[in-house]
Structure 1
Amino acid sequence: MATTAAVPIDVLTDVVRERARAEAREVALMLEFRDRELERIEAEAESPMRRLVERGAIALAIGEAMGFSEGQVQHRLSFADTVRDHSPTTWNAFTDGRIDLARVREIGHTISQLKRAESVHRLDAKVVEYAETHTVAELRAWLKRFVRRVEADLATERAEDERAKRHVSVQHGDDSMGFLGAYLPSHELAAVADRLRKEARRPADPGDNRTVAQREADLVAAWLLGSDVAEGVIDANIGVTIDADVLAGANPGFAESTDGTWGVPAAWIAAVIASGSTFWHRIVVDPVSDDVLAHEYVGRFAPDVLNIALRFLYGTCQGPGCVVPAERCDIDHRVPWPHGPTRGDNLGPLCRRHHTYKGHGLLHWSTRPQPERPAA
């Protein structure tokens, strides 16, 4: 993380570890009861039908004892089984209280996605270190990037299969309202969201009392129905990172959003570039210092090109565990201006809340931030 809170609260950390250990014991006892019951049923049940029925009733018995539904029990047993059997490092961290049930669930779901034993071993070796120091939302994004990187060829196949299922749905509800949904490639959805955000937040006419959400809804309807309201809309500004060998087609891989929430096969982005209809920024990172911008600007406020580059580089607010997209953040000086320069290595995105914390001394920039990406 690029920033840290001013005062650590060790007693809360201890409570969190105690809770995680309790969750681990709870899940371990569920697995133990399930395993004993399976052995008993196999030894005592007289017919295949009886064995089937009794096996199905195990989740019911556990649920009644713990106040869970059968579905909740089966869900927990499923991902706990997966982690216990395939990721011993994660399971040990869970029983030690270093990671909690929510993180174990995310890791278990990711293991289920991976198809190669080597990929699971690599995940087991790396994931605990990250999971211990990041939020569940950050871990979820990291795991998605991990899958795209270590099994890029299989992830690309799945993406192509899903792309073939794109569709639009309309559902009429109560009170003369309804829902419009679209299942589309992530980079197209990101462009739509960016375009909506910019247009809806343009200065409104004095008599326009609509909320931003209402203006966004009206814009979607206007665009789809061909209304004049849609004219003159700003183009989307989307940042992705692609390894050079992947962009060149030498290796399979993904274009990943700067905030880590989505990724699409690099070939999809290459097709957009080839169309010639899009203006692209190319950001070159120094392989030694990770400095992305060596130019220094006079004055407190950085020019637009520097702001865009910084937002593309970091993706999200650099506050601890914050996932607010960088385009909705302020660009903050690590060393305050005028003592600190308006230069790429002294700037980074902070959401308004974390920017306020930093201004009041409750949050501090730590070491020079480096966007974290799971190694392939």
Structure 2
Amino acid sequence: MATTRASTTQSLSDAVRRQAMAEAHTIVAMLDYRDAELARTAVIESSLRRKIERSAIALTIGEATGMSEAQIQLRLSIADRVRDKTPQVWEAFVGGLIDFSRVRDISAAIEKLHREESVARLENRAIAYATGHTGTELRQWLRRFVQRVEADLAVERADAARADRHVAVAHGDDSMSWLNAYLPSHEAAAIEARLRKEARKPAADDDDRTVAQREADLLVAWCTDSEAATSAIDANIAVTVGADVLAGVVPGFAESTDGCWAVPAPWLADVVATGGTFWHRIIVDPVRDDVLSHEYIGRFAPDTLAVALQFLHGVCQAPGCMVPAERCDLDHRIPHPVGPTTGDNMGPLCRRHHNLKGHGLLHWSTSPPAELIVIELYAPTPTVEMEYVAA
């Protein structure tokens, strides 16, 4: 009786490697043909004839492979760059350790690097990472690598790209149009976070719109309704910043916690200065990436800090006032933005005493507790996911 056996994971890995080797074999054949044609046409006396025949090389390869000239030229340029500048990566491709999509991403990173030592560092590290991670993870890793190894040049490119920000409208068929915006990543992330949160709030019983439809309607309302446009952004956003970058020792980026985007660190300082957006800032060791501190940047305290301060103080901190803390405002002892949004600089004040303090008639002298008080907050979910804050 014939028997069947399911493919093992090793056989799947072998199949993927053979596919990668086949891709490499095809690319190598293209290079060999291109190089042979360049050598053949080099002896043609007529420069015009030589130029014409060489211009047809990509077309000829395309006819043989079923690809366009643009596709062939792209593959050849990627192969030339990787083969010439990172021969170890090229050998890994020929040996089937990485596929062409990963080679293409590494080539894009090489193109952005301008220093030979940076390319050498990339070559030494890219293969190990590429062979053990997905394509998406590799692209994020390459972006972070470029931003860190040549941070000064990456910041210059980001500043130049920021100058090209724009909005475009393309009217399509069926009475619909595309609204496209080329924006700084942190601003686009704030918009995305706000849309996602607002669109997922409980809807009325007769509201049968999908989440995607509600997001679209919200965006239209914010762009066309002045009241909706000025409402506070209620979302959580966090970024990680190297301690050396934060101190201004080296140029660098503030990166989203999910690694999907990063912007030059000074860009966030510009946003914070407006007082319109609130951020979590996670400071990391520039060598080990250990978390050194978690700071709240902005005027308003996030929910977790606000609740902790309510439980810690219990009542308004004006002398003798017993208004419950949950009915109070959270006030900065040292006013924002000079004073930080931290537990030791904030406390509850009822609206009356908050207004008196704002007019200089109440000097808040209540000191924070001398002893360390630990407050445990219990919630039905065991984990807390921290994102980007806007208030």
Place the TM-score, normalised by the shorter chain, in its bin: 0.7 to 0.9
Contact 2:284 2:290 in 1 (8 A): yes
Q: What residue in structure 2 maps to residue 356 of structure 1?
A: none
> In structure 2, do the counterparts of structure 1 residues 231 and 277 end up closer, same or farther at CA, with 3 Å as the change threshold?
closer
Deviation at 1:284, TM superposition (A): 5.9
Q: Does 1:263 align with 2:262?
A: yes
State the alpha-carbon separation in 2 of the partners of residues 272 and 299 from structure 1. 33
> In structure 2, do the counterparts of structure 1 residues 56 and 173 end up closer, same or farther at CA, with 3 Å as the change threshold?
same
Equivalent residues in 2 for 1:186-205, closer than 5 Å: 186-205=185-204
Identical-residue share of aligned pairs (%): 56
> In structure 2, do the counterparts of structure 1 residues 296 and 69 end up closer, same or farther at CA, with 3 Å as the change threshold?
farther
Gaps of 5+ in 1: 1-6, 313-376
Deviations 1:291-346 (A, max 9, x none): 899x996867457xx6134x68xxxxxxxxxxxxxxxxxxxxxxxxxxxxxxxxxx
Q: What residue in structure 1 maps to residue 222 of structure 2?
A: 223
What is the SS of the residue equivalent to 2:208? coil
Contact 2:194 2:234 in 1 (8 A): yes
> In structure 2, do the counterparts of structure 1 residues 127 and 274 end up closer, same or farther at CA, with 3 Å as the change threshold?
same
Deviations 1:78-133 (A, max 9, x none): 10111001111111111111111110111111111111111111100000000001
- Higher-Rg structure is 2
Contact 1:240 1:257 in 2 (8 A): yes
Contact 1:93 1:128 in 2 (8 A): yes
Q: What residue in structure 2 maps to residue 32 of structure 1?
A: 32
The TM-score, its normalising length taken from structure 2, stands at 0.71
Gaps of 5+ in 2: 1-6, 294-373
Q: Does 1:73 align with 2:150?
A: no
Contact 1:219 1:230 in 2 (8 A): no
Q: What residue in structure 2 maps to residue 136 of structure 1?
A: 135
**How many residues in Structure 1 have an aligned counterpart in Structure 2?**
301
Q: What residue in structure 2 maps to residue 159 of structure 1?
A: 158
> In structure 2, do the counterparts of structure 1 residues 8 and 188 end up closer, same or farther at CA, with 3 Å as the change threshold?
farther
State the alpha-carbon separation in 2 of the partners of residues 161 and 33 from structure 1. 39
Deviation at 1:273, TM superposition (A): 2.9
State the alpha-carbon separation in 2 of the partners of residues 291 and 114 from structure 1. 28
The residue type equivalent to 1:144 in the other structure is: R
Deviations 1:246-267 (A, max 9, x none): 1122211111122222111111
Equivalent residues in 2 for 1:68-217, closer than 5 Å: 68-217=67-216
State the alpha-carbon separation in 2 of the partners of residues 19 and 233 from structure 1. 52
Deviation at 1:279, TM superposition (A): 3.4
Deviation at 1:194, TM superposition (A): 0.4
The TM-score, its normalising length taken from structure 1, stands at 0.74
> In structure 2, do the counterparts of structure 1 residues 170 and 76 end up closer, same or farther at CA, with 3 Å as the change threshold?
same
Contact 1:195 1:233 in 2 (8 A): no
Of stretches 279-288 and 98-107 in structure 1, the one that deviates more from structure 2 is: 279-288
Equivalent residues in 2 for 1:275-314, closer than 5 Å: 275-283=274-282, 301-302=380-381, 307-309=384-386
State the alpha-carbon separation in 1 of the partners of residues 288 and 163 from structure 2. 42
Q: What residue in structure 1 maps to residue 19 of structure 2?
A: 19
The residue type equivalent to 2:210 in the other structure is: T
The residue type equivalent to 2:12 in the other structure is: L
State the alpha-carbon separation in 1 of the partners of residues 205 and 10 from structure 2. 51
Deviations 1:162-215 (A, max 9, x none): 111111111111222111111110100000000000001111100001111111
Contact 2:241 2:282 in 1 (8 A): no
State the alpha-carbon separation in 1 of the partners of residues 162 and 289 from structure 2. 38
What is the SS of the residue equivalent to 1:98? coil
> In structure 2, do the counterparts of structure 1 residues 136 and 267 end up closer, same or farther at CA, with 3 Å as the change threshold?
same
> In structure 2, do the counterparts of structure 1 residues 197 and 53 end up closer, same or farther at CA, with 3 Å as the change threshold?
same
What is the SS of the residue equivalent to 1:12? helix
Q: Does 1:10 align with 2:87?
A: no
> In structure 2, do the counterparts of structure 1 residues 281 and 201 end up closer, same or farther at CA, with 3 Å as the change threshold?
same
Q: Which structure is richer in relative contact order (CA contacts within 8 A, separation 6 or more)?
A: 1
> In structure 2, do the counterparts of structure 1 residues 298 and 180 end up closer, same or farther at CA, with 3 Å as the change threshold?
closer
State the alpha-carbon separation in 2 of the partners of residues 73 and 296 from structure 1. 63
Output the aligned Cα RMSD: 2.6
> In structure 2, do the counterparts of structure 1 residues 289 and 98 end up closer, same or farther at CA, with 3 Å as the change threshold?
closer
What is the SS of the residue equivalent to 2:234? coil
State the alpha-carbon separation in 2 of the partners of residues 289 and 154 from structure 1. 22
Contact 1:83 1:90 in 2 (8 A): yes
Q: What residue in structure 1 maps to residue 321 of structure 2?
A: none
